[in-house]
Every structure is written in C-alpha cells, then in structure tokens.
Structure 1
Amino acid sequence: MYRAGAWGPWFSRSILPHGAVRPKNVEEIQEILKIANRDKIPIVPFSTGFEQTSWQGGLVLDTYSRMNKIHQIDTDSGYALVEPGVTCGRLLEELRPLGYWIPFGSFPPTFSMVTTLVCNSAYTNSMGREDDPLIGVEAVLPSGELLRTGTAGLGFDWWCVGRALRDLRLLFSPSNGTTGIITKAALRIIPLGETQAIVIGGFNNFNNAVNWTNMVTREMMVNTAMVWSYRWAHWQNWAHLGGKGYFDYVNQMLNLKPWESPKGFYNNYAFASISGYKEQVNGNVKTCERLVKQLDGDIVTNKFKEQLPGCWEKWQHNFVEHKNAGMTQKLSHVYGVDGSEASFIVETNIRDCKKFHHSFLRLLYKKYGIRAVRYYTRQHDHGRITFMRYVWMHDKYDKETLNRELAVQNQISQWMNTQEFKEEFPNIRKFPEANAPPKYNLAKLWNSIERLIDPNNIMHPA
C-alpha cells in the first residue's frame, strides 16, 4: 500500500518502512513526532499523490486516510482551509456551486489538494489569476511543536500571508515533507467569472509557439498558457476516447522523427484559457488571436475540436469549465505500453529553453534512436521560467527495457554535467539546489535551516 511514491523502481535504494501510523488529528501527530524525535525514528509523510521522498525504514505517517476535513470556505476572503486528506476533486465539487474553483493543473482529482498544490510542482504552475495559490499552512515540526504562518500565526481566525510579516510558507513548500508535517493549508480560491474561453494556435515553429505563451503570460491576460506537441495532444486524444486509434497513434509515432508531425497537423499546439468579465475576456481573446498571427501561427480553435475531439474535451474540462473531478481515462490500463516513467524535466529561461529543445530532441533520436517522444511546455513565474517535460515510450514492465532506460537517463545526466554542456547551457542544471555553486551558499543555507528545524534528521534520513 505504501510504496516509494509514484516513482517505483527509481527508488531502488529505498528501505521499506517498518510500520505505518494513521493519525486522526493534529494532537496525535504532535505526540508521534515527539516520540520519533526522541528515539530518532525516521518519518515519511504520506498522502495520495506524488510522494517524492524515498523510504529509509522507520514509519509512514499517513495524513490522508483520516484527516480529510474541509474546515472553512471563505468566499469573502477568497480561500479554503483544508486537511491533507481532502482531494482535488472533492474540494472542486464543493467550490463550484459557490461560483469558485481552484487550480490543480492536470493532476488527477483523486490526489490530495495539499500534496498537489503545496508539496509538488503544481504550486509553481500558476500564473495570472491563478498565481500564488498557497496562503498559509499549519504544520507540526519534528520537535512536535505547532506552527502557523501568516496572520493565523498571530492568533487570528482568518488566513492571510500578511505583507508586514515574515513569509514562512516556503519552508514547507515544496519541501516534500522534509521540514514538517502539514496538517492544514489555506488555499486561494478563484471566481469562475462571467464567461470563459480558450484560444488555440497551431505552430510548426517551436520557438514561435513558446514565444506566444510567454507574451500572453507576461501580460497576465490568461489563466493558463501551454505548448503541447502534436504527439502529446494526439496521445491525450486517444487516451481519453479509447479504441483502436490509440494504437494507430503509437505506430505513427514510431515512424516519424521526434520533431515531425503527419500531414494536416501542426508540430505544436499552443493554447491559453481565459476567464473573467465578458468585456475583459472578449478583449483578451482578440489580442491572443492577433499575437498568434503575428508569430506566423494559425488560429485553429475550431479545427482542433474536429481533429482531436478527445483532447479538446480534456482542455475544456480542465482549463475552461474547471470540472476536473469528472474526467476519466478510458485507456488507463494500457499506460504500461506507453510507459510514462521515461520522463525528463527541465526548467530554464525562455532563451535557453528554445536552444535546449532542439538539441535534446536530436540527441534522443541520433544517439539513442528514440522516436516516440512527446513534450509540453508551460510558463511559470509570469514568463520568467519555462518548464519543459519530455516523455518517451518504453515497456515499463519489461526488466531489460527498464534497465536500458535507466542507463539512458544516467547518460543524459552525465551529459548535463559535462563542461561542454555547462558552457552551451549555463542556465540549466539538473536538481539545481544540489548543484548550486558553493560561492552562493544556497545549498549550505538550506541544509543549515533543515538541521536547525530537524537536528535528529528524522524527516530527511535519505
């Protein structure tokens, strides 16, 4: 039941936990941590979603099974106060009748809202009206002491970051449970708005597609802006619709180079979701469409709906109507064929993003013979960071194939550590905090903070 997160074989050095505890309230968590800290027992917090800490024996602290209360939905102040066991779908179902929603990217509705927005990367996916979703946390420190951030830490019964206060939120996000156990999170909720819209541009030139998402993000005209390769859109289309078309798509990818698309389709589809007052949305839609044409793209919103109806429904459901809770994948059982574990993620500025993209696709194809690559990008921090994710197919249930894939991943990591790579891409690092230059003391300072909070190292034994 309690495995090494969603990453399975990647944590080959993990030691299975010796037991699990399922507290029902904050007081029980405090007592557990006091005992663990006294006896130096490793603790790994668990909630549904991506758990990014490998086991090193000790105890699993399950904050999902019994701590699942929605304590408050304050539409006047614009936040919801939830426990770790509250799922994304459940909170969204509570918010929609009130005229509100909450972003959680493309994560499944069964994932914990706290895991998704606070502990994982969905926190950084936000932009425009979705920006800065975490307002505050209540957390139990390794010593068993209770901490609240922002105005709640002053004893008030309402949650606000508090601009005149020291901002301690990011001690816990996205620390993945290494500084404390989050027991409550105050999360920003967003009005659905009078109307919603989506704009889709077709681009054969990757650079132009990324430039478009960057431009509309910086101006804060949109909720979400992403570039999906034809392959990612087509994969999502058939994963949702089901049927023989999925396997036709797989065969098609194996006969094209990673940067090619079949006739009648674009290499890249860039989309933006927009919501708000009618006049505001109409104006932003026109501006987004003008910028698509300015960057040699085509407005393909209606054509996309006809060609890839499953992906269109997914985008409408997730990014326009905000009804993620009802989505299902009709072909989830064939994901073993698709093998999404072969995933590679890079974050950098937009200049290095475009340069790296072309080099990386050609490396995968020419050195490793990998054709079936799909990718997407999205803008973070109002266009200052471009997030890129690449996925390629392998049979994750075949041991020989999996070992070969691990070798490829290792070789790519070695390539990124070469002097040649560092000179060509000076702003890209794998695991940037761990590889931070010593002269800037980032890693040293963070390690000092962790040791101060957790001197017995029970929260981060790996």
Structure 2
Amino acid sequence: MNETFSKLVKELQAIVGEGNATDDRAICTSYSRDQHWYFVPAKNPACVVRPGTKEEVRAVLMLANTHKIPVIPYSTGINVRGLTIPVHDGSILLDLSRMNRILEINPDMKTATVEPGVTFGMLLEQTQKYKLRPAFPDAPLTVSVLANYYLRGIYQTSAADGHDHTISYEMILPNGETLKTGSRALSEMPYFRYGVGPDFAGMFCAHPGTCGVVTELTAKLY
C-alpha cells in the first residue's frame, strides 16, 4: 500500500473510528467474492470502511470524490453477480451493515422506513406486532430490505419486482448533496411515491451505487 493511500485510511478512520476503517489484507480478502464466486473473478478492495450514520457516509463519499477513488456500497453481504466486487484497483468497500435501524413503522400508512443494514427477518419481527409484513423476495431473510427493493429483487408470488414496493428513498451523492425522492423532497413525510416533477425514484432505481449511496428507504407493508 503506497504512502498516499495509507494517509487516506487514516483520514477515513478519523471519520468512522479507528476500528471501522482498515486496509488489513485478510479483512479486505473477505469482501473479494460473492455468491456467484464461480464466474465472477475475486478482487480485493483497497480498504473497507464501515460507517454508522449517514453523516459518516457523506463525509466518506466527499473524501473519496476529492481523491477520485471508486466506492462500492455493501449492505448485509448476500450479494450476487459481482455487484460488490471492485472493478478498479484502489477502491473503497463501503460496508453499510452497521446502519441497521428501523427508523419508523407507520401502521396507519402501512409503511416502514429502514437503513441499509436492516434485513427482512429484522423487519418482519417488528411489523408482526402490527399484523403487517413486508413483501418477501426470492431470497433469504438475511437479505437487506433496502438493497433488495432498490435493486428490483425478484418475487415468485407476484408479477411486481422490488421497486414496486418502494415508496421513496434518500440518496447521498458523491459531492455530499442529498437527493430525496417522492414526497420526501417536499416535506418530512416519506409516504408518497410521486411528488412534483419527474419520478426520481424510478430514474435512479437499480443502479448498484454508481450514482450515490441510498441511506434510507420507505417501503410498503401489507
């Protein structure tokens, strides 16, 4: 690891804490493969960063943007098709699993707002208290709700895909600005898919972190 990147790791540690940013080779290697290991070549990220808040995500993205360093978002680790495997040398793997809060369950609006590290199992445990449930994908309960819906996961029992269960989300762009879709853009109420103007939720769906990092998502409950 060159001296410049070692300095960058120190800056990342200052943002997320010393124990949450590392260029340790063994740790980086543990992120080098996914479920499709047999046809996606393994490649190590240069470092792994584990933010705990969206403000830390913002600071990491702005730092990476300044140095023109690729960033790969990673949620709960049930990944396929190489979506979280680095393409370029010197990439940052942004592990969002520490951001695992259910921010709101609204039984009246039948919605849940979650961070990237919330799994379907975690959400179901809480929504059952209201006799509600999320739509389940063809995937384990350990899959991220946010990532599956946002990346249009497949549902065997419905013609809809994951994005049809998405109402709105909040994305942090590489320059640190925040993009809010649907009614989030107009108020603090994230319960409506469409706001004024273009459907930005549809415009940015299904990109695996190439435009920014989604830190909150509001989904339908049933």
> Which interval holds the TM-score relative to the shorter structure?
0.7 to 0.9
Distance 1:125 1:35, change over 3 A: farther
Given that 1:71 and 1:81 are in contact with CA atoms closer than 8 Å, whether structure 2 keeps it comes out as yes
Distance 1:117 1:123, change over 3 A: farther
Q: Give the corresponding residue for 2:125.
A: 93
Given that 2:74 and 2:93 are in contact with CA atoms closer than 8 Å, whether structure 1 keeps it comes out as yes
1:84 counterpart SS class: coil
What CA distance in whole angstroms lies between the structure 2 residues aligned with 1:183 and 1:172?
14
Q: Give the corresponding residue for 1:171.
A: 203
Deviation at 1:120, TM superposition (A): 4.4
Given that 1:104 and 1:116 are in contact with CA atoms closer than 8 Å, whether structure 2 keeps it comes out as no
Given that 2:153 and 2:163 are in contact with CA atoms closer than 8 Å, whether structure 1 keeps it comes out as no
1:157 counterpart SS class: coil
> Residues 128-167 of structure 1: matches in 2 within 5 Å?
132-162=164-194, 164-167=196-199
Q: Give the corresponding residue for 2:93.
A: 60
1:9 to 9, 13, 38: 38
Q: Give the corresponding residue for 2:23.
A: none
What CA distance in whole angstroms lies between the structure 2 residues aligned with 1:121 and 1:73?
22
> Residues 311-350 of structure 1: matches in 2 within 5 Å?
none
What CA distance in whole angstroms lies between the structure 2 residues aligned with 1:98 and 1:34?
39
Distance 1:124 1:61, change over 3 A: farther
> Residues 92-111 of structure 1: matches in 2 within 5 Å?
92-111=124-143
2:46 maps to 1:18: yes
Stretches of structure 2 lacking an aligned partner (at least 5 in a row): 1-29
What CA distance in whole angstroms lies between the structure 2 residues aligned with 1:172 and 1:29?
18
What CA distance in whole angstroms lies between the structure 1 residues aligned with 2:202 and 2:109?
21
Number of corresponding residues: 187
What CA distance in whole angstroms lies between the structure 1 residues aligned with 2:99 and 2:63?
20
Deviation at 1:47, TM superposition (A): 1.2
Determine which structure has more spread, i.e. the larger CA radius of gyration.
1
Distance 1:151 1:157, change over 3 A: same
Stretches of structure 1 lacking an aligned partner (at least 5 in a row): 191-462
2:74 maps to 1:43: no
Q: Deviations over 1:333-382 (max 9, x none)?
A: xxxxxxxxxxxxxxxxxxxxxxxxxxxxxxxxxxxxxxxxxxxxxxxxxx
> Equivalent pairs: percent with the same residue?
32
Deviation at 1:60, TM superposition (A): 0.3
Deviation at 1:142, TM superposition (A): 1.5
Deviation at 1:132, TM superposition (A): 1.7
Q: Deviations over 1:4-44 (max 9, x none)?
A: 332113222x5311100000111111111111111011111
Given that 1:30 and 1:144 are in contact with CA atoms closer than 8 Å, whether structure 2 keeps it comes out as yes
1:136 counterpart SS class: strand
**Residue identity matched to 2:94:** L
2:60 to 20, 32, 39: 32
> Residues 298-317 of structure 1: matches in 2 within 5 Å?
none
Q: Give the corresponding residue for 2:115.
A: 83
2:209 counterpart SS class: coil
| TM-score scaled by length of structure 1 | 0.38
Q: Deviations over 1:53-104 (max 9, x none)?
A: 431331100111x100001111111210000000111101111121111112
Deviation at 1:50, TM superposition (A): 1.9
Given that 1:116 and 1:123 are in contact with CA atoms closer than 8 Å, whether structure 2 keeps it comes out as no
Deviation at 1:106, TM superposition (A): 2.5
1:137 counterpart SS class: strand
What CA distance in whole angstroms lies between the structure 1 residues aligned with 2:65 and 2:170?
19
1:6 counterpart SS class: coil
**Residue identity matched to 2:54:** V
Distance 1:152 1:168, change over 3 A: same
> Residues 118-267 of structure 1: matches in 2 within 5 Å?
118-122=150-154, 126-127=158-159, 132-162=164-194, 164-190=196-222
Which of the two has greater helix per residue?
A: 1
1:61 counterpart SS class: strand
**Residue identity matched to 2:187:** G
2:154 counterpart SS class: helix
Deviation at 1:124, TM superposition (A): 9.6
The CA RMSD measured in Å over matched residues stands at 2.2
1:73 counterpart SS class: strand
1:135 counterpart SS class: strand
Greater alpha carbon shift after TM alignment, 154-163 vs 15-24: 154-163
Distance 1:22 1:73, change over 3 A: same
Deviation at 1:160, TM superposition (A): 1.1
Given that 1:126 and 1:133 are in contact with CA atoms closer than 8 Å, whether structure 2 keeps it comes out as no
Given that 1:121 and 1:174 are in contact with CA atoms closer than 8 Å, whether structure 2 keeps it comes out as no
What CA distance in whole angstroms lies between the structure 2 residues aligned with 1:75 and 1:148?
22
